[in-house]
Structures are given as structure tokens and as C-alpha cells.
Copies of this chain bind each other. A is one copy, B any other.
Amino acid sequence: MRLRVRYAECDPFGVAHHSSYVPWLEEGRTELLRTTGVTYAQLEREGVFLVITKLELKYRRPVRYDDLVEIRSHVVGGSRIKIRHTYEVALVERLGAAPDPSDPAIPSDGVCAIASSELACVDQNGRPRALPGWLAS
């Protein structure tokens, strides 16, 4: 999943504000789910809600306005009621070109931030419930 960093997502220091990454991760795991043939919108209509219980982010290098970034999301575990993801936010294009590997402002692997999250499955009233079988690990 790729997205272009919006002007509104950047701050006076000229880089993407650290809060902007959080909706990107959400979009990353949403698109990952879509590849299984089910959308989160469908889950909600069936009374299955996933709420975040834990989130960790490590910011290695800033990304900037108009950068094209790739959000790489992975399911790394979970249980009958929880799902764990990890994420990489990788720079794929800056100023209309592939990132320059000799630029010290960019990590050599292009990964500018890493993150992990834990989601819990709840019903419409916020009470814990089991994940649908095909989602549980």
C-alpha cells in the first residue's frame, strides 16, 4: 500500500508530524485485510469490531511532504481474541525520484519508521468477543 504524504500531514519542522503515521498504519492493515477478500467495513456490519489496545512506533528518519511512502503491514501473531501486526514505513520516491542511497537523511534500507500494534475483537457494545475463526490464529 502506497500513499503520498499530504501537506496537511506535515508540521512546521517541514516533516510528516508523528501523529500522521497512525492513520497510515490503520490504512495499511485495512488494505492487508482487503487482500483476504473481506473488508473491515463488512466485519463491522457483522458486529465484529477491532479496537486497538497497544501501539508502538519508532521513528528512524523523517519523511517529508510529497514523499511517496510504502506501508508494509504483516500479521505476526495473536490469539482467539487478539491480532498483532508489525509495520514498516518505507520511502519509495522523493522529489520525483527513487531515494538516493548515499543520502544520510535516508536509512540504507529506506525504512524510515517501524511500528507494531495489538487489536482486540469486541462486539458493538465494546465487550470482548472471539474473532471469526478464519481471522484467529
A interface, CB within 8 angstroms of B = 4, 6-14, 17-19, 22-23, 26-27, 30, 39-42, 44, 49, 51-60, 62, 65-66, 95-96, 105, 126
Contact = CB atoms under 8 A, between A and B. Distances in A.
A58 to B, nearest CB: 5
B56 A55 contact: yes
Given A10-B12, A51-B62, A54-B57, 6 more contacts: A7-B40, A9-B23, A11-B12, A53-B58, A53-B60, A55-B59
Q: How many copies of the polypeptide does the oligomer hold?
A: 4
Nearest to A45: B95
25 contacts: A4-B27, A6-B26, A7-B11, A7-B26, A7-B40, A8-B23, A10-B11, A11-B11, A11-B12, A12-B12, A12-B14, A12-B65, A13-B51, A19-B19, A19-B23, A22-B22, A39-B66, A42-B95, A53-B59, A53-B60, A54-B56, A54-B58, A55-B56, A55-B59, A105-B126
